[in-house]
Structure 1
Amino acid sequence: MGTVRLRTREAWRSLESLEQHSLTPPQRAQVDALRVRVREAAEALGATVQRALYDAWRGNHRGVAKCLEAGLTAEQLESLRREFLARRPQAMGTARIHFQTGGALERDGQLSQALDQYERGLKLAPLEVDMLQRYRRLRRVLGGRATAPTGHERARSP
């Protein structure tokens, strides 16, 4: 979030410096339109709650996870989850299939395939904290190995 705020300030300063020059009416209109876009981006991406919802609508579970790391509370996440599912009620049904398939694959030791299924589910329902945690734990397990897992390798507890 800090990086977004920094880049927003930099963009805002750049737009202000453009106004020091003589601008034609079409150029001034472009600068004004860019100001609106920068302000909207700062509002959507510069605060954890708005950023989490922005990322959720785009299926960006990694962005949601970063919002949790940045201080998004469990209550805020649950509120966003309810709002998200109210607007996309079908998302959880399909995501649940991926989550269950991933769980079966993980139990069978097919960790890479399980991770793939979790990721597919999280793209549909990115505000599921239990699945975000399971996905992250499994990524750590797989990331700690020199080679890709094969066969029936079992996940170790973190």
Structure 2
Amino acid sequence: MTSPISTAVQRRRQLLHSVESLRGRVRQVLKCVINLHIEFLVLESNVAALLDEVRALNDDHEEMLRLDKLIETLRDYSGPTICHEWPYPLIFKGTIDEAHVAQILNGSELEVASSGKDYIQLESGTGASVTTSKRSRFLRFPRGSSRKLQSAD
């Protein structure tokens, strides 16, 4: 017969072997869980990016629908036209698409006009009231000791 010590040793070896085998399986499962978690994070970021793109496309589509509706309304409009005068003198007459060019050119014209020798130009009139004149008036203040107002037309 075998001694009870040898059977205990064999039993112990089998248990150690099964524990090591289980540890290996647990490591494999943990690696799979980590990889799966990483894939979920990647999918989540992809979905977030797609949602942002869909929102942008939806905003563009809404703007397109609004502009189409405005174009149709203006095509069918036969009533009076209300004109709003540009508050600065235009040195460039072009289409509405070229309005930004006019703004740039008007900005440089105002800088040149305000860099005159003896005058500082200030716009007259109240800030929020509607003026009846066609062009805004500029008051010129001499830089010297004289405080008289001179209006320039």
Please indicate the TM-score interval, normalised by the length of the shorter structure.
under 0.3
RCO higher in structure (CA 8 A, sep ≥6): 1
Structure 1 or 2: more helix by fraction: 1
TM-score in terms of structure 2 length: 0.20
Q: Which has the higher strand share?
A: 2
**Computing the radius of gyration over CA atoms, which structure comes out larger, 1 or 2?**
2
TM-score, length of structure 1 as denominator length: 0.20
